[in-house]
Amino acid sequence: MNWILPKTVQSHVLTVLDIPVHYLSCGLKNDGPVLVLFHPMPLSSYLWVPVLERLADAAYCLAPDLLGFGMSGYKGSDYSVKNQIKVMCAWLRLLAKDRPLILLGHGLGSVIMHGVAAAFRQQLCAIAIYEGYLTPLTGSWDLGLPVEQLYHLVLQSSLYQKVVVEDFMMRVFLSIIAEGKLSEQDIAIYRQPHQTEDTRQVFLDTLLQMMSFSAESEFSAAICSGLSVYHDPQIKKVLMYSMPGLISGLLKLDEFRNQYPTVCVVEVGESVFLAPAFNPDGFSGVIIRDLLSQKSVRD
């Protein structure tokens, strides 16, 4: 299914390490920072289209599809967090080169973003998280209450059966986060890459990594690698949130804010997982006000 994009947003495919990486872009390739947006699971860069449309005059923006999502990767790709980060870093080096970077991660995208942030620390001028993983996961209690409840629901049967065969992420989870607000066309676009069991393997692989709840897992290692940047006074840090929080609940938010007091905490104003789609004016407004208009020391 073809994506319907505004004229200011372009679609591209770049082969990186022999893997096709699809991404969206907008804005002028000037000398300013490059804003990179990493999407959550089970969605794709299509989530960012309304935001990119509003940022076209404000910055040069890139929004990739992670491997196995949207139009990136191929059947049988390595969907490990480590490989996702490796490919995203190679992709970004080709496009951003040595330009300053602003990174924003949402959901699973926040995990990948942390790994990318660690690799590009010398170019990083700002970092932001929305509905993301703030610290390594040591147990289901580290998840927001809604996701923790879904976690226990999934465990009531075989994870493979629930996620791959029954298509839980698209048939159940997508319906929950859509809240009846996504159009049939938007839902079809998100579901299209995951029509068969082999294309839903990315969900299983990612959930298994997340649910290992180990400090030694690739999931936790990626988060830990990026947390070091929160101590850097030259990097602007923004934590975008809405309550009650699907992934990171209030207690985790307060814990993170106390541990990293230089983080700027900003309420988006929509208590939904899909705020970029449902409230693009508010979401892009936060990006412009708190990420693009306030220069870091590194600038």
Q: At what angle do helices 218-227 and 108-119 cross, to 10 degrees?
A: 50
Strand partners, 15: 20
Could you tell me if 283 and 276 are in contact, meaning their C-beta atoms sit under 8 angstroms apart?
yes
Domain locations in the chain?
A: 10-292
Tell me, what's the pLDDT at 21?
Answer: 97
* Residue 134, φ and ψ in degrees, nearest 5: -90, -30
- Would you place residue 147 in the very low, low, confident or very high pLDDT band (cuts 50, 70, 90)? confident
User: What percent of the chain is predicted at pLDDT more than 70?
Assistant: 96
- Would you place residue 136 in the very low, low, confident or very high pLDDT band (cuts 50, 70, 90)? confident
Average pLDDT rounded to a whole number, residues 6-29: 95
Average pLDDT rounded to a whole number, residues 224-251: 84
Give me the sheet containing 19-26, strands edge to edge: 10-16, 19-26, 60-64, 34-38, 101-107, 124-132, 236-241, 264-267
Which of 11, 68, 75, 64 is closest to 38 using CA atoms? 64
Which of 26, 67, 68 is closest to 49 using CA atoms? 26
Residues with Cβ < 8 Å from 147, sequence gap 6 or more?
Answer: 246, 247
Indicate whether 212 pLDDT > 70.
yes
Distance of CA 121 to the CA centre of its chain: 18
Tell me, what's the pLDDT at 121?
Answer: 95
Enumerate the H helices of 72-158 as residue ranges: 81-96, 108-119, 145-154
CATH of 10-292, one of 3.40.50.1820, 3.90.1110.10, 3.30.540.10, 3.40.140.10: 3.40.50.1820
Residues with Cβ < 8 Å from 184, sequence gap 6 or more?
Answer: none
Tell me, what's the pLDDT at 154?
Answer: 75
Could you tell me if 187 and 178 are in contact, meaning their C-beta atoms sit under 8 angstroms apart?
yes
What are the E-state strand segments in 133-246? Answer: 236-241
Tell me, what's the pLDDT at 295?
Answer: 53
Which of 58, 52, 70 is closest to 1 using CA atoms? 70
Could you tell me if 204 and 162 are in contact, meaning their C-beta atoms sit under 8 angstroms apart?
no
Tell me, what's the pLDDT at 270?
Answer: 60
Indicate whether 245 pLDDT > 80.
no
Tell me, what's the pLDDT at 135?
Answer: 87
Which of 292, 294, 297 is closest to 33 using CA atoms? 292
What's the rounded Cα separation, in Å, for the pair 187 and 130?
Answer: 21
Residues with Cβ < 8 Å from 149, sequence gap 6 or more?
Answer: none
What's the rounded Cα separation, in Å, for the pair 10 and 191?
Answer: 21
Average pLDDT rounded to a whole number, residues 75-82: 89
